[in-house]
């Protein structure tokens, strides 16, 4: 019996050592990998593994003002940075939940107020890019926490349309997540930045048939389309486990090159009580 117990204990220890070795090997292979092994529970929770701190962003002329959310832990090195724009007539409070949610998974996030609430998608795109330039610049209090080569953009409504424009203007961005996006431009065939589009099935402001779906269909690069069953234009303006899960997974996969998150994206989810449709170009 003692031999069996010793053998079992040895087997468990060997498994743990092997798991640690695999994790170490994966981290060594990908120097941008951050955080523990992802799980559905953590991705759908209100916060990820990193404690988050905040600091004000003055705007510096490129955007009105903003808030920076960033991981308090610096032991793993620098993080990718994301800028997030609200929609037409909205302030950053409308998308504020995304700041701490994304930062808690290992990103430096700037949520912005636009110069005027009526700013067009093109104007918002310039402001998203200005926010990224500021957060990696000499005046940023968190510049030393950011890897300037790993940047992405998100936005809601006109801010979502702006994120597509920003990615087209700056193709070196690594990811974009337009949330119930609105834009008069329907052809994004020149777009190559990996893009996750989130639509609301019952959106009466940026109807998916006129906006999110043609944006997805015309996009020329890696892409996915997540449609929320029965939801309207504002489904992304409050903490949403499903939106949080797939937005984080997409950004970790493309901004951090972290293939551990592919399991949540490829194959994608089946339609259910929450998701009415999911499409992707995963291999």
CB atoms within 10 A of CB 132: 24
234 burial (CB, 10 Å; 0-12 / 13-18 / 19+) is middle
DSSP state of 175: E
140 a catalytic residue = no
Per-position b or e across 139-178, b if 16+ CB within 10 A of its CB? ebebbebbbeebbbbbbbbbbbbbbbbbbbebeebbbbbb
DSSP secondary structure code for residue 276 in this structure: E
- Using DSSP's 3-state secondary structure scheme, residue 130 falls into helix
Cα separations in angstroms, 26 against 67, 74, 185, 212, 259: 33, 20, 40, 35, 9
Please say if 233 is a catalytic residue.
yes
> Active-site residue among 85, 157, 163, 276?
157
Residues in the chain: 283
- Tell me, yes or no, if 157 is annotated catalytic: yes
Neighbours of 78 (CB within 10 A): 18
How many Cα atoms within 13 Å fall on the side-chain side of residue 225?
21
- On whether the CB atoms of residues 82 and 107 are closer than 8 A, the answer is yes
Set 105, 211, 219, 233: catalytic member: 233
Q: Report the alpha-carbon distance of residue 34 to residue 90 in Å, rounded.
A: 32
Residues with catalytic function: 157, 203, 233
């Amino acid at each position: 019996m003692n031999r069996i117990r010793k053998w079992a204990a040895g087997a468990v220890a060997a498994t743990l050592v092997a798991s640690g070795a695999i994790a170490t090997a994966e981290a060594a292979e990908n120097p941008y990998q951050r955080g523990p092994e992802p799980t559905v529970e953590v991705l759908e929770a209100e916060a990820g593994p990193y404690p988050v701190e905040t600091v004000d962003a003055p705007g510096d002329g490129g955007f009105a003002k903003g808030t920076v959310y960033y991981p308090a832990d610096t032991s793993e090195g620098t993080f990718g940075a994301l800028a997030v724009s609200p929609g037409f007539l909205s302030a950053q409070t409308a998308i504020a939940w995304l700041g701490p949610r994304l930062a808690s998974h290992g990103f430096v996030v700037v949520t912005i107020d636009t110069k005027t609430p009526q700013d067009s998608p093109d104007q918002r795109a310039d402001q998203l890019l200005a926010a990224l330039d500021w957060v990696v610049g000499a005046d940023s209090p968190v510049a030393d926490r950011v890897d300037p080569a790993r940047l992405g953009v998100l936005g809601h409504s006109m801010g979502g349309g702006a994120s597509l424009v920003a990615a087209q203007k700056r193709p070196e961005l690594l990811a974009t997540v337009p949330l119930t996006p609105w834009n008069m431009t329907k052809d994004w065939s020149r777009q190559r930045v990996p893009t996750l589009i989130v639509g609301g099935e019952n959106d009466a402001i940026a109807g998916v048939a006129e906006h999110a779906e043609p944006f997805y269909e015309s996009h020329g690069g890696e892409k996915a389309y997540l449609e929320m069953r029965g939801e309207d234009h504002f489904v992304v303006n409050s903490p949403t486990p499903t939106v949080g899960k797939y937005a984080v997974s997409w950004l970790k996969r493309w901004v951090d090159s972290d293939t551990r998150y592919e399991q949540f994206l490829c194959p994608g989810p089946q339609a259910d009580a929450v998701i009415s449709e999911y499409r992707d170009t995963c291999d």
